[in-house]
Structure 1
Amino acid sequence: MSSSVATRTIALVTGSNRGIGRAVALSLARDHSYTVILACRDFAAAQSTAEELTAELAASPSAGTAKGEFVPIHLDFSSDSSISSLKSFLETEYKGQLNVLVNNAGVLLDNFFHKPASEFETLSPRELYTKTFESNTIGPAILTEELLPLLEKSSKPDQGRPSRIVFVSSIMGSLTISGDTTTAWYNNEATAYDASKAAVNMLAVNFARRLKPVGGLSNAVCPGLRATRLTSGYGGSVEDGAKKIVEMATLVKGAVSGKFVNEEGDIPW
């Protein structure tokens, strides 16, 4: 570990080997000079992504003189030992410093796009809800619980570095909007996904409360419909989707906390 670690900002981004998570990681290192830990279920993918992003960072004309860096690590949400190992890594390599946690990894297993049965993985209701909540809600909740002491310890709002948690959510988790019959996706089937993201929003609110004594911040962000594997490649650019997440991951002392937002502003609960 470099002796300058204490002066750097350490950010952990889950599901960062592709899509929005990858774009968030690149922006945090390139535009803010953060040390970004790429936490992925597939460690080989995390390693290759770290190499790719390092090359992109080196070639970027917008990168500052104090460039960030990428550190790959394995993370399996379904394994308590994997989560504990990640915490131990932070304690050993960074003296327990963690300034930013971006809970990005997630799945959409409902037949949202109304694909024919032959093109869609059919799960039993129990399998659908269990897998969805394990990835989208329970995994991020347990990870955040485990890392909360590090975030609390690392929060230094008076130095311009409050700890920040960003839960990547979805406007589909809004109770208000989901009940509106004029909503574009009102008749699309995504009950498990919607419910998991509504629960994620509650996590953001509760961790905002728990970080408040140390000046930390926690928010839920909807990146919008973006062209990722989760959306079968449908939507806008992942770079645009990453912008609001990066904004909330780089907030300063006294900024908003306990909010549910997208690029247009606050989203109704």
Structure 2
Amino acid sequence: MALEGVAPPVAVVTGANRGIGYEVVRQLAERGHRVVLGARDLDQGRTAAARIDPSGERVIAVQLDVADEASVLAMADRVTRELGGADVLVNNAAILYDTWAQARSADLGEVQRALDTNLFGAWRVTQALLPLLRRSPHPRVVMVSSEGGSLASMTGGTPAYSVSKAALNALTRLLAGELRRDGVLVNAICPGWVATDMGGPGGRPVSEGAAGITWAATLPDNGPTGGFFRDGKPVPW
């Protein structure tokens, strides 16, 4: 929890009106963060924020489509004006778990659409918030990835999703190396198979999948950077 008289850390979570993103917002708010809940549909975002924080003091909903540069820049401007900074970024927004597709015959338009959200969306938001993160005393960037993006275990299937998450992992490594001197810890997290709209029934509870993301968002200053983890343990690249 934030100390009396000390401003709470500010976290931005994308794709957060439901599923894993929503639970990450709840967990971070519970730990004393002021959380910006990003949602493509602002009404849905406001409803989600009110469920977590009816008072509106800890959770703020903003319209955010990570595939739309104007939306991303508007979000960054609002965070700057109203909150004055950002300490944590959780790039959670993702689309298109294409279980029906194969790489040999994939619709490349679908693949491009997945990349624009799952890779370039995270890239856009990170670049937009980087000036604020660099000013934070304890900056953290979390890429919500998937073992589906692990080159070590790829055998075929879900080409749009797998390629976009593998690329997100590469971006994680690049940013971690470039931002190490600024103290920004950048890690990729696989939440595991979670029972969400995207994951489908039968997966682990959402709270368990989100816990590993919250762990990465609240790492101590001597914590790891440039890693790929699930439940705090390394996952093969």
- Using the size of structure 1 for normalisation, the TM-score is 0.81
Structure 2 residue 213 is matched with structure 1 residue 213: no
Q: Secondary structure at the match of 2:76?
A: helix
1:170 aligned to which of 125, 146, 157? 146
Partner of 2:40: 41
Q: Deviation digits for residues 160-207 of structure 1, max 9, x if unmatched?
A: xx10000000011111121xxxxxxx46x2011111000010111112
Q: Is the 1:165–1:218 Cα contact (8 Å) retained in structure 2?
A: yes
Partner of 1:83: 72
Residue 129 and residue 227 in structure 1: after superposition, are their counterparts in 2 closer, same or farther (change >3 A)? Answer: same
Partner of 1:9: 9
Q: Is the 1:164–1:217 Cα contact (8 Å) retained in structure 2?
A: yes
Question: Offset of 1:112 from its aligned partner?
Answer: 4.8
Residue 150 and residue 5 in structure 1: after superposition, are their counterparts in 2 closer, same or farther (change >3 A)? Answer: farther
Structure 2 residue 236 is matched with structure 1 residue 247: no
Q: Is the 1:29–1:35 Cα contact (8 Å) retained in structure 2?
A: yes
Residue 44 and residue 170 in structure 1: after superposition, are their counterparts in 2 closer, same or farther (change >3 A)? Answer: same
Measure, in 2, the Cα distance between the counterparts of 1:80 and 1:264. Answer: 32
Measure, in 1, the Cα distance between the counterparts of 2:96 and 2:43. Answer: 23
Q: Secondary structure at the match of 2:130?
A: helix
Question: Offset of 1:215 from its aligned partner?
Answer: 1.2
Identity of aligned residues (%): 33
Partner of 1:237: 205
Q: Equivalent residues in 2 for 1:85-124 (5 A)?
A: 85-95=74-84, 97-112=85-100
Look up the equivalent residue of 2:60 and give its one-letter code. Answer: V
2:227 aligned to which of 259, 262, 266? 259
Measure, in 1, the Cα distance between the counterparts of 2:215 and 2:95. Answer: 23
1:143 aligned to which of 115, 125, 130? 125
Q: Secondary structure at the match of 1:12?
A: strand
Q: Secondary structure at the match of 1:7?
A: coil
Q: Which has the larger radius of gyration?
A: 1
Q: Secondary structure at the match of 1:39?
A: strand
Measure, in 2, the Cα distance between the counterparts of 1:190 and 1:227. Answer: 18
Measure, in 1, the Cα distance between the counterparts of 2:42 and 2:9. Answer: 23
Q: Is the 1:5–1:94 Cα contact (8 Å) retained in structure 2?
A: no
Look up the equivalent residue of 1:79 and give its one-letter code. Answer: D
Measure, in 2, the Cα distance between the counterparts of 1:216 and 1:84. Answer: 21
Count of equivalent residues: 232
Contiguous gaps of at least 5 residues in structure 1: 59-66, 115-122, 157-161, 179-185
Question: Offset of 1:232 from its aligned partner?
Answer: 2.8
Measure, in 1, the Cα distance between the counterparts of 2:76 and 2:231. Answer: 32
Question: Offset of 1:124 from its aligned partner?
Answer: 6.8
Question: Offset of 1:7 from its aligned partner?
Answer: 2.3
Question: Offset of 1:5 from its aligned partner?
Answer: 8.8
Question: Offset of 1:99 from its aligned partner?
Answer: 0.1
Partner of 1:18: 18
| TM superposition outliers: structure 1 runs of 4+ over 3 Å | none
Q: Is the 1:107–1:136 Cα contact (8 Å) retained in structure 2?
A: yes
Q: Is the 2:212–2:232 Cα contact (8 Å) retained in structure 1?
A: no
Structure 2 residue 40 is matched with structure 1 residue 51: no
- CA-based RMSD of the aligned residues comes to 2.2
Measure, in 2, the Cα distance between the counterparts of 1:268 and 1:108. Answer: 23
